[in-house]
Amino acid sequence: MSLTPSLFPELIQALIETIDAHAEEVTELDQAIGDGDHVFNLQRGLQALREHAGEIATLDWVAAWQKIGMTVMAAVGGASGSLYATLFIVLAKNAKDKLIDLAGFSDAFLQAVEAVKQRGKSDVGEKTMLDVLVPVAKALRELAAAGKPLAEILDSLSLVAAEGVEATRDMLATKGRASFLGERSKGHIDAGAKTAQLMIAAIAEVLKN
């Protein structure tokens, strides 16, 4: 199988399905320590991407990531929208003029996650999506550099993502709406970390098949 944007419609469908399937659970998480709109925000973004999926499928990855970032930026309000938009726009910028094999992608992805940190003025350990994205980006780079087979890399990333979500449970939120709760933010998984994990697991499943 070649990993080209022709996969994009299938990937988006898989993301929509996993977010729909976990909508209630994630909404409860965002209600507990946020404002409860996280699923709605993501669904808006994913629906906008589905509308453009046919066009995105015809692009190269750099153009596709740029288009994905701009589409998410326009469609989604909320912290998660601007952070995911940043991820894809910076991914496109860093991947530009590079040969995109898995090692090249992993470099560009790690830089894009760094840009999300800057945009959110946040880092790992603050109970956000970064507690999933950062360890996943680091693991991807290590495994790609070591030349591991794709299926093995994807399984490892799904595991790393699941550990990242679980780690947010006992963290004190210091960024985003959950930070308004202070100590009361402890004991709940972060909604944005959970959806990042769900989407990574869904992407891994599509790419494995």
Nearest Cα neighbor of 76 from 46, 48, 41 is: 41
CB atoms within 10 A of CB 194: 23
Contact between residue 58 and residue 8 where contact means Cβ atoms under 8 Å apart: no
Q: Which of 5, 8, 15, 30 binds ligand ADP (CB under 6 A)?
A: 30
Identify what 120 binds: Mg ion, ligand ADP, none; CB under 5 to 8 Å per kind: ligand ADP
DSSP state of 1: -
Check residue 183 and report its DSSP letter. Answer: G
Among residues 5, 69, 176, 204, which is the contact residue for ligand ADP, using CB under 6 A? 176
**Residues 32/184, Cβ–Cβ less than 8 Å:** no
Compute the least distance from the CB of residue 55 to ligand ADP, in Å: 25
Structure tokens at 143: 């495994």
Structure tokens at 97: 């003029």
When CB distances are held under 5 to 8 angstroms depending on the partner's kind, the choice from Mg ion, ligand ADP, none that residue 129 binds is ligand ADP
- Choosing from 37, 123, 155, 166, the residue that interacts with Mg ion (CB under 5 A) is 37
Footprint of Mg ion on residues 42-81 (CB under 5 A)?
78
Q: Which residues bind ligand ADP (CB under 6 A)?
A: 30, 34-35, 37-38, 41, 78-80, 83, 120-122, 128-130, 175-177, 190-193
